[in-house]
Amino acid sequence: MLSVLTIGLTCGIAAPAHAKATADLVTTTGRAGKTVALTFDDGPDPDNTPALLEVLHKYQVKAVFCLVGDQARNHPDLVRRIVLHGHTLCNHSMHHDDLGDWSAADIRADLLEASKAIREAVPGARIPYFRAPYGSWGQSPQVAADLGMQPLGWTVEVADWEQPGTSELVRRLNEQLTPGAVVLLHDGIGDRSQTVQAVDQVIPRWQAQDWIFTRPARPVQPSMIVLRLG
């Protein structure tokens, strides 16, 4: 007679399912080898975001867009374009405030409002990540996790808000790139044309060097498979 035994595995026999979000900051792709994830904060912006989307489309690269609720509400068409291009959404707070010393209740209200603003443009949109403005986390990681969003950090940050010049941004990106890196860049709140131009230069170079563009890691729960034993 055959018996059925169900066990949990973390290997790649079956496609893993995403587990509940945790309060741990994700700062890597979670994949071995030459992998990198591009993330863009503070948009959507009517000038920079369309230009960036064209660059990413040209090279068939997907990224994470960390959206500010105010910006999403002002530019719902751009939120829809981001989703239609196959990119991943991230909640970046409602007004881009420093949440570092806020109460958990106030943070929760802010994040819920920001997610609502995003979903006004794209009803039912999946928002798997949250990133705190200024990297000032306070109690927000646990609040975000309770709302189903994984706190998203970074490993590469090139201070593109300084507008040091496209060539300098390219140099910084090449210098800091490491396997599994999550790259922090910006497409909103100011002139980000240098960032767009830098991305247009580094993507083909990294692709030629066999780098794979992917998304930041998410917690994974063991896959459940059934073994039939004689």
- What residues are annotated to the active site? 41, 186
Query: Can you read off the two tokens belonging to residue 46?
Result: 């009517």
Q: How far is CA 126 from CA 34, 165, 216, in A?
A: 27, 35, 15
Strands (E), the chain: 3-9, 17-18, 35-43, 64-67, 88-91, 129-130, 150-151, 156-157, 181-186, 212-213, 220-221, 223-229
| CB of 155 closer than 8 Å to CB of 193 | no
Amino acid type, 106: D
The sign one gets for the Cα dihedral 34, 64, 100, 21 is negative
Distance separating alpha carbons of residues 195 and 198, to the nearest angstrom: 5
Counting Cα atoms < 13 Å in the Cβ hemisphere of 119 gives 13
Residue 39 CB partners (closer than 8 Å, separation 6+):
63, 64, 65, 66, 90, 131, 152, 154, 182, 183, 184, 185, 216
Amino acid type, 76: P
Distance separating alpha carbons of residues 7 and 227, to the nearest angstrom: 8
